[in-house]
């Protein structure tokens, strides 16, 4: 009889240390990052961890609280969600009517792509076209039908009517194609921070590796690798797999 009693005592001692969760009367809410960068303060028990920092104005879904920490769900650019712990002091609760909100690209057809434009005008220079499921960070309210957004290191404008708000408990739709790295020389392909040859290298990925296609800008593909890193690879790495337009 001693073992059950000891286990019960240990459980009672640990209960005050457990976070308040959504299943125990806690009402989830959204909060936006008011600091320039907020790195995970602790790794979640599931082992999930963001590969990138949470950036200024990025919105997370708060699902629990404990002392000065938030248990939050955050989304990376590809729409994949991660659960992690963050400091309360780095976040501000989203108020009704606030333009801070979770959004994702939603095109009317799966094969369609949404332009990231240099300015909030229809004829402005396109910086790339992105598939349904990509989750940019909103940087302000909609003006003249466009919302200023950030896609990691790049900022631009997207048509507001093609940016779908994501409510708590919903999952973003996704139509991100999978591409096989298969250059004709069968060599590994480098990933760049920006879509040009002189940009910083983020790593090399072997022939036969599969990546997610987020969007395309000129002769470069914005992709997410299996290790979670995102960057640009030349379109020549994916012969016969890309749209011709």
Count Cα neighbours of 163 within 13 Å in the Cβ-side half-sphere: 23
Task: State the DSSP string of 109-161.
Answer: STT--EEEESSSSTTSPEEEEE-TT--PEE-S--BTTEEEEEETTEEEEEEGG
Residue that wins the pLDDT comparison between 60 and 10: 60
Residue at which a domain ends, from 45, 73, 93: 93
Buried b (16+ CB within 10 A) or exposed e, 182-199: eeeeeeebbbbeebeeeb
Model pTM score: 0.85
The answer to whether residue 11 is domain-embedded is no
CATH number, domain containing residue 155: 2.30.30.40
Domain hosting 216: range is: 178-237
pLDDT tens for each residue of 64-119? 999 999 999 999 999 999 998 999 999 999 999 999 999 999 999 988 999 999 99
- Both 159 and 201 in one domain: the answer is no
In a domain, 220, yes or no: yes
Residue 207 domain flag: yes
Domain containing residue 74: CATH number: 2.30.30
pLDDT in tens, 163-201: 999 999 899 999 999 999 999 999 999 999 999 999 999
Q: Are residues 74 and 121 in the same domain?
A: no
Residue 72 resides in a domain = yes
204 versus 11: the higher-pLDDT residue is: 204
Q: State the Cα–Cα distance between residues 149 and 16, nearest whole angstrom.
A: 41
Instruction: Assess if residue 71 is contained within a domain.
Output: yes
| DSSP class of 194 | S
Domain check: are 46 and 85 in the same one? Answer: yes
Domains in the chain: how many in total?
3
3-state secondary structure string across 160-179: HHHEEECCCCCCCCCCCCEE
d(CA 229, CA 193): 10
Can you count the helices (H) and strands (E) in the chain?
1, 21
Evaluate if residue 120 carries a pLDDT over 50.
Answer: yes
**Listed residue (123, 44, 137) closest to 86, CA to CA:** 44
User: Is 89 found in the same domain as 26?
Assistant: yes
| CA–CA distance, 57 with 225 (Å, rounded to integer) | 25
Q: Is residue 242 part of a domain?
A: no
Identify the pLDDT of residue 52. 58
Average pLDDT rounded to a whole number, residues 220-243: 94
Please give the pLDDT value at position 212.
98
């Amino acid at each position: 009889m001693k073992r059950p009693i000891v286990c019960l005592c240990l459980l009672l001692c640990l209960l005050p240390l457990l976070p308040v969760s959504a299943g125990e009367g806690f009402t989830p809410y959204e909060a936006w990052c008011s600091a320039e960068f907020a790195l995970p303060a602790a790794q979640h028990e599931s082992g999930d961890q963001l590969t990138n920092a949470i950036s200024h104005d990025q919105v997370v879904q708060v699902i629990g609280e404990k002392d000065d920490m938030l248990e939050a769900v955050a989304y990376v650019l590809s729409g994949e969600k991660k659960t992690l712990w963050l400091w309360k002091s780095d976040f501000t609760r989203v108020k009704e009517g606030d333009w801070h909100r979770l959004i994702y690209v939603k095109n009317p057809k799966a094969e369609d792509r949404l332009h990231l434009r240099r300015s909030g005008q229809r004829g402005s220079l396109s910086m790339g076209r992105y598939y349904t499921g990509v989750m940019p960070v909103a940087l302000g309210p909609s003006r003249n039908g466009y919302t200023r957004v950030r896609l990691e290191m790049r900022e631009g404008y997207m048509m507001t009517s093609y940016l779908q708000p994501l409510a708590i408990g919903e999952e973003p739709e996704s139509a991100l194609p999978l591409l096989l790295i298969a250059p004709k020389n069968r060599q590994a392909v480098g990933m760049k921070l920006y879509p040009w040859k002189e940009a910083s290298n983020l790593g090399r990925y072997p022939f036969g590796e599969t990546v997610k296609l987020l969007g395309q800008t000129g002769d470069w593909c914005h992709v997410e690798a299996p290790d979670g890193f995102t960057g640009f690879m030349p379109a020549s790495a994916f012969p016969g797999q890309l749209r011709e337009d």
